[in-house]
């Protein structure tokens, strides 16, 4: 490979390419849904993979992943896309592409599991994963206590977390369980995965937080399965 090509590739991968990929997927999904019945149509949302508890219990566990890429209406897509771009621009470079992708996807699953466990409403949106990224900023603030830039970023995002939670309390359309599940999942994952060359997070601590995340996932999956199975089949 020529040197100029190598340099172009290096410059390209310095950019938040995972963030761009996630944005592309959710925009394409929105376009497809819009052309196939509309993104606010319940049947279309179910068809494309929104979180629907009865289908999850019947074996469609992939519905814990697909809701992260679906949005209900253009404003929902626009708001979450702006937040994803802003967070990705800052966090992907800190965590690295793979760590960032892992935190986003796995905390999104944790958030969808929390929604599965505590809400029987149809739901979709990147918010569960975005709250996972919010959770990761809390970890960064705790880890890099002597870095003014990271401390300022953590404080800013902490205010956004508080505002979103307060707003969610007074809005019946917001899936608070999903948001809080993603937030906790993101914090646990970010601590377990950490960042390259962390200052104070040692291997044992990483294993503990990774184990706590796994335990959280198992508990939420069990609660969701049991509560939905009881309502469906009387088990």
Other Cβ atoms less than 10 A from the Cβ of 41: the count is 15
- Please state whether 188 falls in left (phi above 0), alpha (psi between -120 and 50) or beta: alpha
Rounded CA separation 123/138 (Å): 26
Q: What is the CA radius of gyration of the chain?
A: 18
Give yes or no for a contact between 94 and 195, defined as CB atoms under 8 angstroms apart: yes
Rounded CA separation 92/17 (Å): 9
Rounded CA separation 38/109 (Å): 25
Whole-angstrom CA distances from 208 to 124, 214, 215, 219 are 31, 10, 10, 16
Sequence-separated (6 or more) residues with CB below 8 Å from residue 14: 93
Burial 65-83 (b: 16+ CB within 10 A, else e): bbbbbbbbeeebbebbbeb
**Residues with a known catalytic role:** 127, 179
């Amino acid at each position: 490979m020529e040197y100029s090509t190598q340099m172009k590739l290096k410059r390209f991968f310095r950019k938040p390419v995972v963030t761009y990929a996630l944005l592309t997927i959710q925009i394409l999904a929105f376009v497809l849904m819009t052309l196939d019945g509309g993104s606010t149509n319940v049947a279309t949302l179910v068809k494309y993979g929104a979180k629907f508890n009865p289908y999850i219990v019947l074996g469609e566990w992939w519905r814990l992943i697909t809701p992260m890429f679906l949005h209900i209406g253009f404003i929902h897509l626009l708001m979450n896309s702006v937040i994803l771009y802003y967070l990705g621009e800052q966090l992907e470079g800190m965590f690295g592409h793979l760590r960032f992708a892992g935190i986003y996807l796995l905390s999104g699953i944790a958030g969808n599991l929390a929604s599965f466990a505590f809400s029987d409403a149809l739901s979709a949106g990147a918010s569960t994963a975005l709250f996972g990224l919010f959770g990761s900023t809390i970890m960064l603030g705790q880890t890099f206590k002597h870095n003014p830039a990271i401390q300022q970023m953590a404080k800013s995002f902490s205010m956004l977390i508080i505002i979103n939670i307060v707003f969610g309390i007074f809005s019946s359309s917001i899936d608070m369980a999903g948001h809080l599940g993603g937030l906790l999942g993101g914090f646990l994952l970010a601590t377990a995965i950490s960042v390259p060359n962390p200052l104070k997070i040692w291997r044992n601590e990483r294993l503990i937080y990774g184990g706590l995340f796994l335990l959280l996932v198992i508990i939420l999956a069990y609660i969701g399965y049991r509560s939905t199975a009881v309502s469906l089949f009387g088990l």
